[in-house]
Chains A and B, each alone.
Chain A
Amino acid sequence: GESVGLHLPTLSVQEGDNSIINCAYSNSASDYFIWYKQESGKGPQFIIDIRSNMDKRQGQRVTVLLNKTVKHLSLQIAATQPGDSAVYFCAERYSSASKIIFGSGTRLSIRP
């Protein structure tokens, strides 16, 4: 069945340090894995995606890693800033559909 989940519900990081948010998935048939960020009082915001045939993809200050062997997805945020405080959702999508299946979120809080 469809299942995307997260290892930890909360993560506290010192400002300036790197953050790593992890996610486990169970459905190997997904074609894309996606990270969304949700700030308080706002809708989810796309961060980055990765196709299932890739291992790594980099964006601006963010890197997504995909390990298909252990069905693990991670989001790395470099030099974490106060504005990175949010709930981060991993998500997946099949090529045959346009809906996005969200996992449970991880709340990232930044210590000054």
Chain B
Amino acid sequence: EPEVTQTPSHQVTQMGQEVILRCVPISNHLYFYWYRQILGQKVEFLVSFYNNEISEKSEIFDDQFSVERPDGSNFTLKIRSTKLEDSAMYFCASRATSSYNEQFFGPGTRLTVL
């Protein structure tokens, strides 16, 4: 069964450093998302991406964040200068064109900012 994959599973970084979180969405999906989940809290939407551009973003997704689809398979989230409060689990998701509500989530990358 096709699945979304994410690397690394755990990233530890120093405050102020740049991190890139990587995702490989399901191959025939065209809509991509990043969400985050601070420990013990609900899942929060960050950004949606379609046709090589951001289609929607939340207030969390400020100028420190960027997304890119560098090739036909990868989808990345970059945090330019990490802050302590960026520590969270980051989930990538993708969906098929016809399934608006069924988003397929990856296993997540746990980001720890020290």
Q: Which of B35, B101, B107 contacts A46 (CB 8 A)?
A: B101
Q: Is B114 an interface residue (CB 8 A)?
A: no
Cβ B55 vs Cβ A98 within 8 A: yes
Q: How many A-B residue pairs have CB under 8 A?
A: 57
Secondary structure of the B contact surface, majority rule: strand
Secondary structure of the A contact surface, majority rule: strand
On B, residues with C-beta under 8 Å from A are: 4, 31, 33, 35, 41-45, 48, 50, 55-56, 58, 91, 93, 95, 100-108
A-B contact pairs, 27 of them (CB 8 A): A32-B100, A32-B101, A38-B43, A41-B107, A42-B105, A43-B93, A43-B105, A43-B106, A44-B105, A46-B101, A46-B104, A49-B101, A89-B42, A97-B56, A98-B31, A98-B50, A98-B55, A98-B100, A99-B45, A99-B48, A99-B56, A100-B101, A102-B35, A102-B42, A102-B43, A103-B42, A105-B42
